[in-house]
Amino acid sequence: MFTLVAYQEAKPTTTVPIAIAAVPDQHVRTDGAVIYMADINEIIGVYAGGHLELNDAYLASPSLRRLANYAIGPIALQALPLVLDSFMMHPESPLPLEKNEGLEAIITADATVGAVFTTVGVLLADGPVMPISGEIFHVRATCPALTGAALAWQNRELTFDDTLPVGRYQIVGAKCFGPTVILFRFVPIGEAHRPGGLGSNLLGIKTIDLQRNGGLGVWCEFDQITPPSVDFLKGIAAGTDALALHIDLIKIS
């Protein structure tokens, strides 16, 4: 099981390290720049980007400081992801944190450039995440457009282009397209985790391999009448989004 949390702040400019604000979240506790880890507390992936003049980014917590803070690299120096491999993932080798400790995202940046936001996304798991194989098929789905600013998750209902046959399904990968989307995650009904990944503003950008076709195991399960909704985090403030997802599914019953 894995989940996605995020930090985001509008155009921070600092030559000394600062902690950027945690994005308010319904499934984990946040307080200012701190996200508190509960049972899903092992780091399996990190993304940092948005600010065109980022110099450094790392994760910090009391347990990490006993050895070394988590240096984030590569860093995506674009307002929106253009190279999806900039999401560093190590699902089979998680880095555990202490339960209930606070995690911060620290950055330094030279200058403010344009109406962009610094964003850090963190994938957390409850242990190693192993790939899954099976009869995977691929469906397209859409969500109502996003409006308003960044700095908050926006939830939207999911509608599949094709009617799924009666049964139960596993989501085992996904790619999201939206003109201003930087991160997305599924909100399965009755579950405490929010599995997700890096968004894309161009259809032609290749998704990181681990984000598709079972590379991160089973994201969540649903039946055909209760699909998950989707949270989106915008990377820039302007514009509305026509949202589409390509979702990898395994039918299990």
The pLDDT tens digits for 124-161 are 999 999 999 999 999 999 999 888 777 899 999 999 99
Other Cβ atoms closer than 10 A to 93: 11
- Could you give the maximum distance between any two Cα atoms of the chain, in Å? 56
pLDDT exceeding 90 applies to what percent of the chain? Answer: 68
Question: Can you tell me the distance from the alpha carbon of 71 to that of 37, in angstroms, rounded to the nearest whole number?
Answer: 19
Q: How many residues does the chain have?
A: 253
pLDDT of residue 82: 60
Local confidence band at 46 (pLDDT 50, 70, 90 cut-offs): very high
| Contact residues for 159 (Cβ-Cβ < 8 A; gap 6+) | 141, 142, 143
Question: Can you tell me the distance from the alpha carbon of 171 to that of 251, in angstroms, rounded to the nearest whole number?
Answer: 9
Q: Please give the model's pTM, rounded to 2 decimal places.
A: 0.94
pLDDT at 120 over 60: yes
pLDDT exceeding 70 applies to what percent of the chain? Answer: 89
CA R_g for the chain:
17
Q: 171 or 12: which carries more pLDDT confidence?
A: 171
Residue carrying structure tokens 């990944």: 197
Given CATH 1.10.3470, say whether it is the number of domain 2-125: no
pLDDT of residue 79: 65
**Degrees (nearest 5) of the Cα angle 14, 17, 22?**
95
Q: How confident is the model over 42-51, as a mean pLDDT?
A: 90
Q: What are the residue boundaries of the structural domains of the chain, listed by start?
A: 2-125, 136-251
Element (H, E) at 145: strand 136-146
Q: How do beta strands 14-19 and 88-89 pair?
A: unpaired
pLDDT of residue 240: 65
pLDDT in tens, 86-113: 789 999 999 999 999 999 999 988 765 5
Q: Where are the alpha helices (DSSP H) in the chain?
A: 62-65
- Residue 211 DSSP code: G
pLDDT at 209 over 60: yes
pLDDT of residue 108: 86
